[in-house]
Amino acid sequence: MAPADILLYTGVMALVTYLIRMLPLTLIRRRVDSPLIRSFLYYVPYAVLAAMIVPEMLYATLSVWSAAAALVVGVASALRGRSMIAVAILACLTVFAAESLLRASGYL
């Protein structure tokens, strides 16, 4: 691939990303009053974050079982109101413990 093509593709991606972020700000000038739309927009960041994290989390470890255990511990600790760093540390410790147990029992 030629360097000019790479620059062209990068420029098009930057333009599309900019337009996606800029158009709602310029087209919607008044406050959104609909409770349905407001509640939908409130949950969009959480849904996008979950859609990006969960699949990667399940395949980032040596075993899907250790990842599933970490997912359960992470969701439970987040629902209990723990901070994001505490949730991440607890999930990492859960993966470490689960993979240690799996390795000791001969499953890994």
Q: Where are the domains of the chain?
A: 1-30, 34-105
Structure tokens at 15: 């333009």
CB count in 10 Å sphere of residue 61: 18
Two tokens at 29? 């000038």
Each residue's pLDDT tens digit, 64-108: 999 999 999 999 999 999 999 999 999 999 999 999 999 999 988
pLDDT band at 14 (very low <50, low <70, confident <90, very high): very high
Which residues have C-beta within 8 Å of that of residue 103, sequence separation ≥ 6?
A: none
> In 75-96, which positions are buried (b, 16+ CB within 10 angstroms) versus exposed (e)?
eebbeeeeeeeebeebbeebbe
Distance CA 101, CA 38 (A): 46
Cβ–Cβ under 8 Å, residues 66 and 104: no
pLDDT of residue 79: 94
User: Which stretch of 6-10, 12-16, 28-32, 71-75 has the lowest confidence by average pLDDT?
Assistant: 28-32
How confident is the model over 47-56, as pLDDT tens digits? 888 898 888 8
